[in-house]
């Protein structure tokens, strides 16, 4: 295929991607969609109602490589969350974004939908956040409360944090003289044991 034909095909694909993203904003909102899609695309995903992420809003940034769609986009969440397959810094571990599993027929809309589905169906057996995975497997109730706590603190979700957990956050804030966000991170990594969180 000549360079001009390849360029035309590439441009048609990007135009299709733009239309798909803009016309399917039900569970997400596109907040920044560059004309050429070469700059990062910014999206806010709503937390699925059947998950502890319900009510939260989670920023997602997608960046396309020069040879997209033959290579997958790079994706990371800009909103911190507690999830086995997503680091607290937003890195994501999911098959659809791995080069060996990527198909050039996969659209950005499919990627967004897959990442939202990941919030409902985490895989603790292939973790990026080992602490979240361990908590999910050993104490599912604590895991759900922790997810809801992060969703409230970072994702502007509803305040459904039990008072016992709020008291622990306040205690660590006072002891360590740290922010609520920092106290939540320390407690999450220490299975909500206040004494253990002092060493983090």
SS (H, E, C) the chain: CCHHHHHHHHHHHHHHHHHHHHHCCCCEEEEECCCCCCCCEEEEEECCCCCCCCCCEEEEEEECCCCCCCCCCEEEECCCCCECCECCCCEECCHHHCCCCCCCCCCHHHHHHHHHHHHHCCCCCCCCCHHHHHHHHHCHHHHHHHHHHHHHHHHCCCCCCCHHHHHHHHHHHHHHCCCHHHHHHHHHHCCCCHHHHCCC
The whole-number average pLDDT for the span 191-200 is 88
Q: Which residue has the higher pLDDT, 111 or 5?
A: 111
Percent of the chain surpassing pLDDT 70: 97
State pLDDT tens for residues 172-187: 999 999 999 999 999 9
In this predicted structure, the answer to whether residue 91 has a pLDDT above a threshold of 80 is yes
pLDDT tier for residue 6 given thresholds of 50, 70 and 90: low
State pLDDT tens for residues 100-148: 999 999 999 999 999 999 999 999 999 999 999 999 999 999 999 999 9
Hey, which residues are catalytic here? 93
In this predicted structure, the answer to whether residue 3 has a pLDDT above a threshold of 60 is no
CATH 3.10.110.10 domain range(s) in the chain: 2-120
CATH of domain 2-120: 3.10.110.10
The whole-number average pLDDT for the span 87-96 is 96
């Amino acid at each position: 295929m000549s360079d001009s034909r390849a360029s035309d095909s590439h441009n048609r694909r990007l135009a299709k991607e733009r239309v798909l993203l803009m016309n399917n904003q039900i569970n997400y909102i596109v907040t920044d969609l560059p004309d050429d899609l070469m700059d990062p695309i910014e999206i806010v995903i709503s937390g699925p109602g059947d998950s502890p992420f319900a009510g939260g809003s989670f920023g997602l940034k997608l960046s396309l490589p020069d040879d997209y769609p033959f290579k997958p986009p790079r994706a990371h969440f800009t909103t911190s969350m507690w999830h086995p397959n997503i680091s607290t810094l937003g890195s994501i571990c999911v098959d659809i974004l791995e080069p060996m599993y990527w198909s050039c027929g996969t659209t950005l809309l499919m990627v967004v939908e897959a990442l939202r589905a990941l919030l409902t169906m985490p895989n603790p057996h292939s973790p990026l956040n080992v602490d979240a995975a361990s908590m999910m497997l050993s104490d599912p109730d604590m895991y759900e409360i922790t997810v809801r706590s992060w969703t409230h603190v970072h994702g502007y979700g509803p305040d459904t944090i039990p008072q016992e957990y709020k008291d622990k956050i306040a205690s660590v804030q006072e002891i360590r003289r740290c922010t609520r966000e920092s106290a939540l991170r320390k407690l999450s990594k220490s299975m909500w044991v206040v004494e253990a969180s002092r060493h983090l």
